Amino acid sequence: MKHYKIVVFVPVVDGDRVRQAMGDAGAGVIGNYSYCSFTVRGIGRFRPDAGASPSIGEVGRLEAVEEERVETVCAAEKLAAVLAAIRHAHPYEEPAIDVYPLEATG
């Protein structure tokens, strides 16, 4: 069965909501465990440009936000639902989401 690693960057205050939405949509299943994820904190930087509607910061001004990098796994058949759940729960207009195919390890 094909699996993916999903990585999303989210403000710390919204991390629990996004992790919950990912798990509710079927991400984070490893064997007999569910809602599995890994989180590390860092600083996300961005500048909203003309036409943006930022939930944090102002158009034209550089912003720095304490964020979490949330990683989890997802079966291929759940990928579309998980990505939709992230976008729905995430506060950003354009969330940074990475999706990596995983090789079978046995």
Q: Is the pLDDT of residue 1 over 90?
A: no
27-65: pLDDT as tens digits: 999 999 999 999 999 999 999 999 999 999 999 999 999
Residue 52 identity: A
Tokens matching residue 11: 């403000």
The SS3 of residue 88 is helix
Confidence label for 105 from pLDDT (cuts 50, 70 and 90)? low
pTM of the predicted structure, to 2 decimals: 0.92
Q: Which of 6, 1, 15, 17 is nearest to 73 (CA)?
A: 6
- The pLDDT of 59-82, averaged and rounded, is 97
- Whole-number pLDDT of residue 106: 57
Would you list the domain boundaries of the chain? Answer: 3-96
Architecture per CATH, 3-96: 2-Layer Sandwich (3.30)
- The per-residue pLDDT of the chain, averaged, comes to 95
